[in-house]
Structure 1
């Protein structure tokens, strides 16, 4: 049995002096008075200089931003390059469309397993391998001339995208907590930014449509990139008023160079995976793990929920996320079809309408970086969900009255209204409902992919068998359902969730110095 005196001496030997840093980052000695430093009031530049945990989290976040630029780049690349991929595998439209469906299935599986691995596996390796999978599959995709092989590559690419989306969102919430509001908005702006830039880079490498004059054995190159397949038609050419001669013109696509655009995408995605591998190797070499998570005790936290109530919240949030993502993805995908088939617009004007949506959507996400610093996530959800319903009500009215001049305004309003709802759901859940773990993040993204897979099938059936105006009808109904689910969750939060405020800790960095660590027992002897 250990004697009390020996136990006391052992405790003294185990107790070390702590060395603190002052405002300028200099070491404080053991005899100096410990002071609380509120780094949050510093400017960004000064805080990066003196607040070392903040600097590590900030650098980590910058690499997450770059990874999401790559994710948006890969997603945005598929749309304009899809006709050329069809040419490579020589498939019809209905068959080649499975490239989108198989990607969504892979994304669903990646989100599911990404959420499980995030809580059990090293987070840096999860993000690094997910991004590396995306890089490799993107680089080899245009070289797959056998359609089943291309399907397999797209499926694996979806798994990587789902893993990155799940791990990246959960990691950012863990890193910043309350301070993460603007960073979450910036993360999703980076995704949109990659999606905007990628088609612009891809366009010069797309195959041009050529008109092959069979009789004269010559070709005339047309500048139309929009037709998705090979079209054969006969063109009558009049030589004079009384004599007509005909020549056969075969319209075909020329050689595609999208291998180069996919190669550029490969290097972008590869560059976004390397920093996470490097951070992991540094951590292994130091043989220690630095605490990167934000302090959770500075703000009131929701109490732990009973199991049944937690299940109710998860079901409602799942439905909220799935309904919203169904509206967002369907609006962007079917807007041009609605404008052509119902409003009678040309393909060029309809494409510009889609560009208007993406421009307002990206502007909304950029402005959300600053709005989230002033308003709480729940306040923004109130405003933007109501604005979304108003946009579809207005779009329905102007569509039924064919007031086409106002269609542009409501398209832009819809894009702006949908811009920050997705990231606000993450931050609102973390701050007011329950902790966003990898599993919760995975659940949100599974809901998002579920809405993406189901809603196009339903809307396509309604528009094809009834009327194109069902585009607005369905999205208006779903926006009302989306707001109703949000309102239900909001009421339940107010009624059942209590918040606990913990004592605010000292906002300083504590550093253990081996040179100045002296056991208390030795000090007493001196």
Structure 2
């Protein structure tokens, strides 16, 4: 006896859909002939549409290559993915130049290391200010125009920095660079999560995006090095160690720079006057001019997208998407917003502190040489890059909250292992422990963004700004606290602080996991009630 349409609806399916063994509904997907035939497809043109019982959203099961061949929309997504990644690489590239160029900037402005810390402080203050600014303007301005302006301003400011001989101008230039970078960061984050959406491809793309940022940050110091001032022979070894420790990662931070510089030079007031004695003017402007030119080139495709897109359409899309996901009470959703803010601050503080103070900890507590300590820091950031590259494939196999919880727990295990090996003065254990921390650390942030975008609220404008402001807030406060604890109590507070922050991050991810379960149960209950009525 054949089933009628009524039978289909009783089983919770739509007419014409076939229930598969995996619990999904399938229907044939027919593609018309290009020659305008009768619409009857060849056998090889038949695809299957998979409809999830939970979401009810059809998904065509095609490979990416097949979609690129037949879908103009997919090809456009791929182009946008490349352009957004290029913009993020510009941000990583210019940020990666700060470390190796730091000493030349001191020479240009005639300041010492202590005063030069204002460059980095103003840069990160600008990043926070830029993130806040972008949160207010992102829904009111065409997103491609934001890309054009922020990239262009960022590139121009980078080109001007080597010519700022006055200290105040240098601080102001880094502040403006940070503001434009903060606006660009929000635009990149908001656009990156929307290109492929909350899908496996979207999760993989976020990992690839983070990896591209790290790669550009690692390559930038090598491109900058030929244009740096050459030191006197007696100080050449110090400079090489300093530069290596400053540029080990694209995440070059203020605390990292100041920690390593303090290790190499004790008399900062005399250093500036003797280190570059009898040298010619700095050629740093060449490296920065190249970076400026690359940034302006990257901005050109966004100009094209701006003129081809409808400004009103882009704004409407953003305004209609700023809604929480699911039907849970608003109190739970706002509490979860606080939770993700705490997580963002804690994990970034741990990340920046671990990379920034690791060299100082190894030299002062473990009595390593500065070169070995710098090499260990390089291993950490290369391990982080490996984690991000591996995450491109891992995110297809695990859910975001499960993967993040596993990564946080692995970080805790690695940090505890490093503490134990530090107490035992086991050098080999230290090397293995930092790898155990670095690899999962590279996965956490992109997976976190995926979870927020899929389970809590779409990451647009103010949401992206909120996450970046909280992350930079944690990164700026932690160096002061860790430095005070290490100086006044024990150097082991480096390990204690990182373990505490990783523990806080794990608790936050556990709360995300509980929230996800509650959200899924509420959706299942809602679906059952709908079927009854």
Which TM-score tier does this pair reach, normalised by the shorter chain?
Answer: 0.7 to 0.9
Closer, same or farther: CA 474–439 of 1 in aligned 2, 3 Å: same
- 1: distance between equivalents of 2:525 and 2:181? 37
Q: Please tell me whether the aligned partners of residues 115 and 440 of structure 1 are also in contact (alpha carbons under 8 angstroms).
A: yes
- SS of the residue 2:396 aligns to: helix
**Deviation >6 Å, runs of 4+:** 33-37, 229-234, 290-294, 500-503
- SS of the residue 1:303 aligns to: coil
Aligned partner of 1:424 among 430, 436, 447: 447
Offset, 1:481: 1.2
Superposed CA offset, 1:201-225 (max 9, x none): 11122211125xxxxxxxx894652
Closer, same or farther: CA 27–84 of 1 in aligned 2, 3 Å: farther
Offset, 1:45: 2.7
Q: Please tell me whether the aligned partners of residues 118 and 167 of structure 1 are also in contact (alpha carbons under 8 angstroms).
A: yes
- 2: distance between equivalents of 1:443 and 1:265? 29
- 2: distance between equivalents of 1:24 and 1:140? 56
Matched, 1:225 2:247: no
Closer, same or farther: CA 501–491 of 1 in aligned 2, 3 Å: closer
Aligned partner of 1:262 among 288, 312, 328: 288
Matched, 1:206 2:228: yes
Q: Which residue of 1 aligns with 2:383?
A: 360
Structure 2 counterparts to residues 156-175 of structure 1, below 5 A = 156-175=176-195
Closer, same or farther: CA 92–480 of 1 in aligned 2, 3 Å: same
- SS of the residue 2:367 aligns to: coil
Q: Which residue of 2 aligns with 1:499?
A: 523
Aligned partner of 1:124 among 131, 144, 159: 144
Matched, 1:280 2:300: no
Offset, 1:24: 8.0
Q: Which residue of 1 aligns with 2:422?
A: 399
Q: Which residue of 1 aligns with 2:212?
A: 190
Offset, 1:348: 1.0
Q: Please tell me whether the aligned partners of residues 189 and 459 of structure 2 are also in contact (alpha carbons under 8 angstroms).
A: no
TM-score (norm 2): 0.78
- 2: distance between equivalents of 1:271 and 1:334? 36
Q: Which residue of 1 aligns with 2:88?
A: 68
Offset, 1:131: 1.3
Superposed CA offset, 1:54-93 (max 9, x none): 1111111110011111111111110111111111111121
Superposed CA offset, 1:84-111 (max 9, x none): 1111111121211111111111111111
Gaps of 5+ in 1: 1-20, 212-219, 235-248, 504-526
- 2: distance between equivalents of 1:27 and 1:316? 56
Closer, same or farther: CA 500–442 of 1 in aligned 2, 3 Å: farther
Offset, 1:263: 1.4
Relative to its length, the structure with more strand (as a share) is 1
Q: Which residue of 2 aligns with 1:307?
A: 330
Cα RMSD of the aligned pairs, angstroms, is: 3.2
- 1: distance between equivalents of 2:284 and 2:370? 23
Q: Which residue of 2 aligns with 1:104?
A: 124
Offset, 1:488: 2.1
Closer, same or farther: CA 272–502 of 1 in aligned 2, 3 Å: farther
- 1: distance between equivalents of 2:268 and 2:71? 66
Matched, 1:146 2:166: yes
Aligned length: 454
Q: Greater relative contact order (Cα 8 A, min sep 6): structure 1 or 2?
A: 1
Closer, same or farther: CA 183–232 of 1 in aligned 2, 3 Å: closer
Q: Please tell me whether the aligned partners of residues 75 and 195 of structure 1 are also in contact (alpha carbons under 8 angstroms).
A: yes
Q: Which residue of 2 aligns with 1:246?
A: none
Relative to its length, the structure with more helix (as a share) is 2
Closer, same or farther: CA 230–143 of 1 in aligned 2, 3 Å: farther
Closer, same or farther: CA 324–233 of 1 in aligned 2, 3 Å: closer
Aligned partner of 2:471 among 441, 444, 448: 448
Offset, 1:121: 1.4
